[in-house]
Amino acid sequence: MYNLELPKKLKASANQAHQVAAEIFRPVSRKYDLAEHEYPVELDTMAAMVEGLKDSGGEIGGAAGGRASGDGTPSTEIANSNGGNMSALLNALETSWGDVGLMLSIPYQGLGNAAIAAVATDEQLERFGKVWASMAITEPSFGSDSAAVGTTATLDGDEWVLNGEKIFVTAGERSTHIVVWASVDKSKGRAAIKSFVVPRDAPGLSVARLEHKLGIKASDTAVLLLQDCRIPKDNILGSPEVDVKKGFGGVMQTFDNTRPMVAAMAIGVGRAALEELRSILTGAGVEISYDTPAMNQHAAAAEFLRMEADWEAAYLLALRAAWMADNKKPNSLEASMSKAKAGRTGTDVTLKAVELAGTLGYSQHTLLEKWGRDSKILDIFEGTQQIQQLIVARRLLGLSSAELK
């Protein structure tokens, strides 16, 4: 029997995140949408709050908060656990309700932190658990095909030497560390792809430019160059050994953490749009009833009910993926399902809200048009809608990537 009520220990943290979203993020949301690449000084307050929470034993997320199961083996425990992954998901949802671009810019809460949580050793988690880490995977030659990584890492004594170019790195300029995907042996294919923690001040690392984007403008998105970039030998996450039989499941485990997080972002933006749309429809005299069949209601009300049901399904799928991670259950299928559903629902809900609100939705009098722009990236990064559906199909049909492309 499932209990869908959130535990009390998580409600307090989620409520605090919502207050941050309402009192800090939402009031400056339009300001930083219009001032792309300007550093949001309000985030300094946010960083202090995060550190305060950690010192008091609480979490808003990060590597320590999003710690997943170590080896992906099913749990034999009977007890139900709601830990770092669920907490991080709920806080991502609440802060994205305020502004997803600002959420992606919160110090110490980068997507690289979830990557560290997924594959770092206990010793590495001790070293990197409190850094602000962005994640660098995509390159000019590929997008969704993570196995096509061209960046190389060569061991030279006690250092790794990295060479390559990474694009669309979220928080790539502001973060203190970057988790970089690179190949340690191109001849061994995808099995040789590993992730490395590169400090911001590492010699050979530079920011080539910042991208101008459709949405999430408060977040900096960088192009990074690695030119004979040197990092310590033990900055490779997990084992440096290349296991051809295992493939690159180790680095791919990263996505089991980050995809539910991105799903939560889309769910947060979608909820914001639904709440604003309900207010606009109610003000226009459109009644939304849960007792009357949708076909007997105003067309706008019927559409609202459809979107709300889709939103609820996305929310529950994301909760399941996070719960499975906290309970040490393999969740690759569920992580992709939650990302696919939430990404599609987020764009559907926000753009339909713009449409139903008419001229008010298309103008800058509300944040609806901004949420429509912001939501699109949440259906693209961390694996596109099409990639998620492909992964789900492979898992359900029991087929490999070579058998189903």
Q: Are residue 290 and residue 179 in the same domain, yes or no?
A: no
What confidence tens digit (pLDDT) does each residue in 55-75 have? 544 444 444 444 544 444 444
Residues 119 and 231 placed together within one structural domain of the fold: no
Last residue within a domain, chosen from 235, 257, 278: 235
Specify if 403 maps to a domain: no
Instruction: Please tell me the chain's helix, strand, coil percentages from 3-state DSSP, rounded to the nearest 5.
Output: 50, 15, 35
Residues 114, 144, single domain; the answer is no
Q: In this model, does residue 1 exceed pLDDT 50?
A: no
More confident call, 237 vs 145: 237
Q: Flag whether 19 is in a domain.
A: yes
Structural element, H or E, at residue 13: helix 8-20
pTM as predicted? 0.91
What's the average model confidence in pLDDT over 88-110? 92
Is position 31 within any domain? yes
Q: Which member of 126, 211, 382, 403 is catalytic?
A: 382
Q: What is the domain-level CATH number for residue 278?
A: 1.20.140.10
Which pLDDT score is estimated for 169? 96
Q: Are residues 304 and 369 in the same domain?
A: yes
Which one of 235, 259, 279 terminates a domain?
235
Residue 1, in any domain of the structure: no
Torsion of CA 328, 332, 338, 343, to 10 degrees: 140
Distance in angstroms (rounded) separating the CA atoms of residues 1 and 359: 46
Distance CA 397, CA 360 (A): 46
pLDDT, one tens digit per residue, over 336-353 is: 999 999 999 999 999 999
Element (DSSP H or E) covering residue 385:
helix 385-397
CATH number at residue 173: 2.40.110.10
Tally of domains in the chain = 3
Whether 103 and 29 share a structural domain: yes
User: Which one-letter DSSP state was computed for residue 77?
Assistant: -
| Domain housing 56 | 8-128
Q: In the numeric block, which tokens belong to residue 186?
A: 């191109």
| C-alpha Rg value of the chain to the nearest Å | 21
Is there a catalytic annotation at residue 403? no
The verdict on residue 240 lying in a domain is no
